[in-house]
Structure 1
Amino acid sequence: MNDTITYLETLSNAHGVSGAETQVRRVIRSLVQEHVDGVEVDAVGNLITWKSGTGSSRLRVLVAAHMDEVGFMVVGHTNDGALRFETVGGIPARILPGLTVLVGPDALPGVIGIRAIHRLKERKSTNQVPQVSDLAIDVGARDREEAQRLAPVGTTAVFATRFRQTDASCIGKAFDDRAGCATLVSLLHAPRFPFDLFGVFTVQEEVGLRGAQVASYRIKPDAGVTLEGTLADDLPKEDSDVSPTTALGQGPAITVMDRSYITPPRLLQHFTQVAEREGLPYQFKQPGIGGTDSGGIHRAGKGVPTITVAVPCRYIHSPASILRKHDLNAWGQLVDAALRSLTPDVLTPQLSE
């Protein structure tokens, strides 16, 4: 587990908003290239690795984790040198005022501020949550020309958060899905699997599962597994009868159904039986929430049986998330064990079903 946490720290500190994953891709490539049989980057930016199996199975299995994180993109400049921006991926505007960000490949520091206070006063109350259009990134530029030079339109920005850890937890940005990337790196470092393994670090998941669909069409896998950092909303609620989507400390979360995909029952049963056999904790993610790369993977060719297994993270899509090391460790163990016992029978429905 210590290696996975080291990978997570490096990847969490890297910058890679959707569509600008270059830095993350370089880090991952350096971590895996000595442990796989091949590495390449496809036309959309996915990092595709492959590792031949031991020969006891003819399956082709795709394991995916997305490199991109939510963040910001510069879309314009004001006369006084501020950067107008749009969010990339789902970030609530209410958390943004006063946050520090890092802009562009040189990590230029900036602060998100209210750019037009008079517009707020025109509303019913200045206590209302500002919209993104009310905000701008201040990088200290003196005028429009300097702002354009420092951060041209299309420049991306990320939360200025550094990774930290306690005895039990990890804290940092972009655990959705650098946690998945770190765990996939560890899987690629492990001994060979019975089947040919394709470890795919995908792009643009946060804006539409785009990289996963491209990769799956190319690889034509027999099965897919998506590794994800998922929402844990296990904090106190007004309605005590409402179950959390997932909870920290209860093991990895297996998706039964979300907005992009429904897991095949046989694959779901396989992962839960392996968890129980190995004595590993697990939980089910509450159905109907969000979507993952599984929604893109399963559409390829004649269809791909796919499952999402995630590590619960509080405060995803914000400046800092928190996860439990216990969950991270159990997650890696479950995925490894379930993959090593995966057979064609698990993937093929019987005519009687």
Structure 2
Amino acid sequence: MIDYTLLRKLCAADGISGDEGEVRDLIINEIKDCADEIRIDNLGNILVHKKGRDRAENKLMLSAHMDEVGLMVTDITSDGFLKFDEVGGLDRRVVVGKRVRVGRNGVIGVIGIKPVHLTNGDENAAIPAYSELYIDIGADSRDDALSVVGIGDSICFDSEFAETESTIRSKAIDDRFGCLVLIELIKSDLKYDTDFAFVVQEEVGLRGAKVAAYSIDPEFALVIETTTAADIPEIEPTKQVCTLGEGAVASVMDRTTIYDKGLVKAAFETADEIGVKAQYKRAVAGGNDAGIIHKSNGGIRTLAISLACRYLHAPNCVANKSDCESVMLLAHKMAEKIAGGEL
């Protein structure tokens, strides 16, 4: 079963690319009594080794990224408004008017724009550039703002985690759900020795995964991710990428990786074997840490198992609980098969 209380904590933690400390501390606190070795490398990745009941036939690394997309303070106006830029690929259409938390103090602000009453012509329909936006934290002047925030401070969406009987909604499901899967595997009674990497800076170029793959040097890698679901009105079924409620998502190809065909085939066979749903990612789109992992060192056989998620890289993502269970169970079984030399 999925520990949604822990997932809530993971998603609530703030950690844009390059500032993952809060997430890292939370993860270490969860696994410190279960892992046999925990290392923090110079980039900030958490590298974990967990002994199993038996020695592994294949060296396997499971990977998930700790960082989330967000914003960063780039300047402060004389009137105390914050100027900012994106960290990772955000959809500018959805940020206007959203509540945000700024800096380590969690100062609350609102992303503002010129009032609609003062716009005209094409301005009404245009997607504003970040240079046209600002964050209002209620400061009266630059000095007033600087007393609570600073240039370079991280900015995260102030979004509540919410559940229904069948779905979850939150910021940062990408990829805190992947982190949850790794945590639960580390806490479990593993059959085989396994390595884990909670990596940084995926959203700005797969940076942490490159370092982690080099350090661990596995033969196989299993990347646990989230991926875009476009199963929404007005999108043709062939363009919906994947569908909520249809199980774990396995990619054949995306913008950065052509996946190991043997592992993809095994993923679907294993899903059938353990009685969970699985689906193909029906578009060559996006990418994840597999893009850098699979071509590290002498080459690493790599598979990505993803959670279908609507509104990815937005203040509120939506995922299906049954899909969460499918990803968790499939990841566990595939890890056991790979490490045990069955694949």
TM range (shorter): over 0.9
Question: Take 2:165 and 2:30, find their aligned partners in 1: how far apart are those partners?
Answer: 25
Q: Tell me, what secondary structure is at the counterpart of 1:141?
A: coil
Query: TM-score if structure 1 supplies the norm length?
Result: 0.93
Q: Does 1:54 align with 2:53?
A: yes
How far, CA to CA, are the matches of 2:141 and 2:212 in structure 1?
Answer: 43
Amino acid at match of 1:280: V
* Of 122, 133, 144, the match for 2:142: 144
Q: 1:286-325, aligned counterparts within 5 Å?
A: 286-325=282-321
- Could you say which residue in structure 2 is the equivalent of 1:126? 124
1:230 corresponds, among 227, 242, 256, to: 227
Structure 2 spans left out of the alignment, 5+ residues: none
**2:248 paired residue number:** 252
Name 1:176's counterpart in structure 2: 174
Q: Secondary structure at the match of 1:213?
A: helix
SS, match of residue 291 in structure 1: coil
Q: How far, CA to CA, are the matches of 2:116 and 2:168 in structure 1?
A: 37
Letter in 1 for 2:75: G
Match of 1:307, SS? strand
Kept after mapping to 2: 8 A contact 1:256/1:287:
no
Match of 2:273 in 1: 277
Corresponding residue SS for 1:125? helix
Is 1:198 the counterpart of 2:217? The answer is no
Partner in structure 2 of residue 41 of structure 1: 40
The more displaced of 296-305 and 46-55 is 46-55
Superposed displacement of residue 118, structure 1: 11
Q: Alignment length, in residue pairs?
A: 342
Paired with 1:104 and 1:345, the residues of 2 have a C-alpha distance of 47
In 1, the alpha carbon distance for the partners of 2:294 and 2:227 equals 19
Secondary structure at the aligned position of 1:242 is classed as helix
- Runs of 4+ aligned residues of structure 1 deviating over 4 Å after TM superposition are 115-121
User: What corresponds to 1:262 in structure 2?
Assistant: 258
CA–CA distance in structure 2, aligned partners of residues 114 and 139 of structure 1: 14
Q: C-alpha deviations, 1:287-336, integer Å up to 9, x for none?
A: 31111111121122110001100011111111111111111011111111
Kindly state the Cα deviation for residue 25 of structure 1 after the two structures are TM-superposed. Answer: 0.4
Shift of residue 119, structure 1, vs aligned partner: 10
| Aligned sequence identity (%) | 35
Q: Please report the TM-score for the alignment, with normalisation by the length of structure 2.
A: 0.95
Q: Quick check: 1:8–1:179 contact (8 Å CA) kept in 2?
A: yes
Deviation at 1:241, TM superposition (A): 5.2
Asked if 2 retains the 8 angstrom alpha-carbon contact of 1:116 and 1:134, the reply is no
What code does the residue aligned with 2:313 have?
H
Task: Between 123-132 and 145-154, report the one with greater CA deviation.
Answer: 123-132
Q: CA offsets, 1:44-103, max 9 Å, x none?
A: 010111112333433221101100001000001111100100011111212122111011
Amino acid at match of 1:226: V
Match of 1:186 among 184, 187, 192: 184
- Within 2, Cα distance between the matches of 1:126 and 1:333? 47
- Aligned-pair CA distance for 1:243: 3.4
Q: Distance in 2 between matches of 1:190 and 1:345?
A: 20
Query: Shift of residue 115 of structure 1?
Result: 5.8
Q: 1:272 is aligned with what amino acid?
A: F
Gaps of 5+ in 1: 347-353
| 3-state DSSP of counterpart to 2:53 | coil
Query: Deviations 1:170-208 (Å, cap 9, x if unpaired)?
Result: 1111000011111111111111232x2111111000000
* Aligned CA distance change for structure 1 residues 43 and 66 (closer, same or farther; 3 Å): same
The Cα shift of 1:42 comes to 0.5
Indicate the SS of the match to 1:17. Answer: coil
RMSD: 1.8
1:237 Cα offset (Å):
1.8
Change (3 A) 1:219 1:33: same
